[in-house]
Structure 1
Amino acid sequence: MNMEQTFRNQYPFMAALLQFDETSRRFKLVCGGSLISATKILTAAHCVTQNNTILDKLVVKLGMHFLSETEDDAEHNAAHNFNEIGIVTLESPVEFTDKISTVCLPKECHLEMEFYDSTRAVGWGNSKEGEENYGALRHMTGTMITKEFCIEFTRSRKIELANHMICAFPFYGGLCQNFDGGPMVLQRPVSTYGECPWIQLGIIISANGCHEKPEPDVYTRLTSFWSWIDNKVKPL
């Protein structure tokens, strides 16, 4: 797998979801996520549920580069999920800084997205199956592919690609374990779009880069969940 360590604060919207492990007596990475408002973390549904039950005692870390950093921890008090998308609600709003800010969500002009080049997948996952998670935040570049092309490459994984899913083929290697819930983002010119250089197009839900043969990674398509996300972020 070929991933590069990010610069510090390159992705200020990144969140790490951790849960206390009774065996090791320490917090372990469950999934990644992205900050979409002062109180909401976007992630994959299976990151916040187990046997159809919402997980409790999750700790959210924000503004981190290394997993070992301890500042900016936040407790959550609720989680909602639908299909393969989940939202974690923090107990109190976070304070935005140069290390912590929100990612932008897609707009109508991104609805027919099939072939965006140079998308980024971001997370703290490991390089090889069964290994410890990597200590620093890393990213990998890929390109979006058609559903038909993705189905052909993922037959062995027996994944049923729904209409609300999209795929991206990594330029080199692929994501391995514990990247689920993290964002797939696209960089935009700051001069054109003000202070929002990153737009999130998807959520990592299935990665298979632990093996030598490169395969597409599968993501939840955010444009399929506009109404659901808006309802959770701005409830009536």
Structure 2
Amino acid sequence: HLLTGSPPCPLPLQMLWLLVLTLPCLGGSVPVTSDPGPGTELVGIVGGHDAADGKWPWQVGLWVFDSTSSKWNLNCGGSLIYPQWVLTAAHCIRGRNPETRHIKVQLGQVRRSYNDSVQVARIIRHPNYSLENEGPEGGSDVALLKLEAPVRPSNLVRWIRLPPASSAFPPGSRCWVTGWGLMGPEESLLPKNLQEVEVPIVADEICRQQYLRINKVIQDDELCAGSKGRDSCRGDSGGPLVCKWRGTWVQVGVVSWGSKCGLRKFPGVYARVTSFLPWI
């Protein structure tokens, strides 16, 4: 989800599951992605816990160089979908002409680690993604990153299977989302360990009706997942939403946007992977 707003810090304990719309307590250490639209925010894990080594071997972290601060920041997630290709969110890639030398990919580690990150050789944003106006709310919020060299599979590094076009995940299906984003508005530090949380798939029509109440449109190439206190939140954009299909993990969504975090009536919004299979 994208970043806007400016609530006071700290917030009351009972609001721990809400999104921090901006994080003054973190100062300049917080990475920021592309210009947000109104009422949206970046995302990170709410209601989750530490993930074990090798449990989600396709999870990657995107380290992006901030030329203003001359620092590398882990500002998004992604997934290894082929030996040399990473799937992430288009809004994680800043600027009209992003430079590959400013993006590196962390593989096979649950702890934040810039060391041994892999250089990106090519960036491909979906051609229908809106760079200027709607942003992720306009849909097509996916991008591919080609790595400089194919990676070798191991116990800690493996690519995630993409779902068949015919696969369906009915409302209530229990899926998992992972990332290094903030776990709540009162957290003053980003988690060092990868977080995981189980989230239910939400019916398309229910999600559309809920978001229409705040004048937000759920696109046909998007799906919704999450429940009160269990959601993706700030810092996890581009990360994978995975579900079991016939006994195998497949990636069904890419963390994209939403209204706040962990709210009962506003689940997280994800790019629907099956909508992009021909493009991928």
- Report the equivalent of 1:93: 150
Task: Structure 1: give runs of 5+ residues left out of the alignment.
Answer: 230-236
- Report the equivalent of 1:169: 226
Against the structure 1 CA distance between its residues 5 and 214, is the aligned structure 2 distance closer, same or farther, given a 3 Å change threshold? farther
Cα shift at 1:42: 0.3
RCO greater where, 1 or 2, for CA within 8 Å and sep 6 or more? 2
2:123 counterpart (74, 79, 93): 79
Instruction: Please give the secondary structure, in 2, of the residue aligned with 1:227.
Output: coil
Cα shift at 1:116: 5.1
Residues 150, 167 of structure 1: 8 Å contact kept: yes
Aligned length: 220
Against the structure 1 CA distance between its residues 163 and 212, is the aligned structure 2 distance closer, same or farther, given a 3 Å change threshold? closer
Cα shift at 1:55: 4.7
Residues 63, 114 of structure 2: 8 Å contact kept: no
Residues 141, 171 of structure 1: 8 Å contact kept: no
Alignment of 1:1-236 (within 5 A): 1-22=46-67, 24-50=69-95, 52-56=96-100, 57-68=102-113, 70-71=115-116, 73-82=117-126, 83-110=140-167, 112-115=168-171, 117-129=173-185, 131-155=188-212, 158-170=215-227, 172-187=229-244, 197-210=248-261, 215-229=266-280
Instruction: Please give the secondary structure, in 2, of the residue aligned with 1:154.
Output: helix
Cα shift at 1:155: 3.9
Task: Structure 2: give runs of 5+ residues left out of the alignment.
Answer: 1-45, 127-139
- Structure 2 CA distance for aligned equivalents of residues 95 and 228 of structure 1: 25
- Structure 2 CA distance for aligned equivalents of residues 141 and 40 of structure 1: 26
Residues 120, 147 of structure 2: 8 Å contact kept: yes
Instruction: Please give the secondary structure, in 1, of the residue aligned with 2:226.
Output: strand
Paired letter, 1:5? D
Cα shift at 1:19: 1.1
Paired letter, 1:202? G
Paired letter, 2:91? H
Residues 62, 75 of structure 2: 8 Å contact kept: yes
- Structure 2 CA distance for aligned equivalents of residues 26 and 157 of structure 1: 37
Residues 112, 192 of structure 2: 8 Å contact kept: yes
Cα shift at 1:161: 1.1
- Structure 2 CA distance for aligned equivalents of residues 18 and 144 of structure 1: 29
Name the structure where strand makes up a greater proportion of residues: 1
Residues 173, 209 of structure 1: 8 Å contact kept: no
- Structure 2 CA distance for aligned equivalents of residues 211 and 95 of structure 1: 36
| C-alpha RMSD of the superposition | 2.3
Residues 175, 209 of structure 1: 8 Å contact kept: no
- Structure 1 CA distance for aligned equivalents of residues 235 and 213 of structure 2: 20
Paired letter, 2:220? N
- Structure 1 CA distance for aligned equivalents of residues 98 and 110 of structure 2: 27
Residues 105, 200 of structure 1: 8 Å contact kept: yes
- Structure 1 CA distance for aligned equivalents of residues 198 and 53 of structure 2: 18
Cα shift at 1:142: 1.1
Instruction: Please give the secondary structure, in 2, of the residue aligned with 1:134.
Output: coil
Cα shift at 1:93: 1.1
Cα shift at 1:35: 0.3
Q: Percent identity, aligned pairs only?
A: 25
TM-score by length of 2: 0.71
